[in-house]
């Protein structure tokens, strides 16, 4: 019983929250533990992931709308100027988008997926746990 072991002090807060929220929480903590302070592009979890704002030290935000139709070099430059350094992906969240029938969700996916794919070509994985991956973007300011 995880909540009992947390309540009695046998489990740390971090261990308890990691068990409750899984890899998404572990990515949030990885950034904080390693003092990685840049913004994080996160297109998917706001729809299907957990709301971990109380535990986040970094800004997690989807690709800004004004960057969805510009070239990849301009997107990278703009992200750098806005303080974004990372991109977070949880495969399960993206799968939910692929299965969705709601036209608003389908459009969200359709316009962000190709831009994210182009950004990931030059990005490198800095942390992967379970279904979640955190990438450092190859950006320039």
Whole-number pLDDT of residue 55? 92
Q: What share of the chain is helix, strand, coil (3-state, %, to 5)?
A: 55, 15, 30
Does the pTM exceed 0.75? yes
Put the strands of the sheet holding 132-136 in their side by side order: 60-61, 39-41, 84-90, 132-136, 124-129
- What is the distance between the terminal CA atoms of the chain, rounded to a whole angstrom? 48
Checking if the pLDDT of 84 tops 80, the result is yes
Reported as a single tens digit per residue, the pLDDT across 105-127 is: 999 999 999 999 999 999 999 99
In the structure, what pLDDT confidence band is assigned to residue 9 with cuts at 50, 70 and 90?
A: low
- The pLDDT value recorded for residue 47 is 87
Measured in degrees and rounded to the nearest 5, phi and psi for residue 62 equal: -70, 165
* pLDDT at residue 136 is higher than 60: yes
Does residue 67 surpass a pLDDT of 80? yes
pLDDT above 80: residue 36: yes
């Amino acid at each position: 019983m995880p909540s009992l072991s947390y309540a009695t002090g046998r489990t740390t807060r971090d261990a308890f929250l990691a068990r409750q929220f899984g890899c998404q929480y572990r990515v949030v903590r990885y950034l904080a533990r390693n003092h990685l302070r840049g913004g994080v592009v996160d297109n998917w979890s706001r729809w299907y992931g957990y709301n971990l704002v109380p535990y986040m030290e970094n800004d997690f935000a989807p690709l800004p709308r004004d960057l969805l139709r510009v070239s990849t070099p301009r997107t990278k430059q703009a992200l750098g100027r806005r303080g974004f350094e990372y991109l977070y992906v949880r495969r399960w969240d993206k799968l939910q988008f692929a299965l969705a029938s709601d036209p608003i969700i389908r459009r969200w996916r359709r316009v962000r997926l190709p831009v994210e794919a182009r950004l990931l070509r030059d990005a490198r994985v800095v942390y992967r746990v379970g279904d979640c991956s955190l990438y450092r973007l190859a950006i320039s300011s």
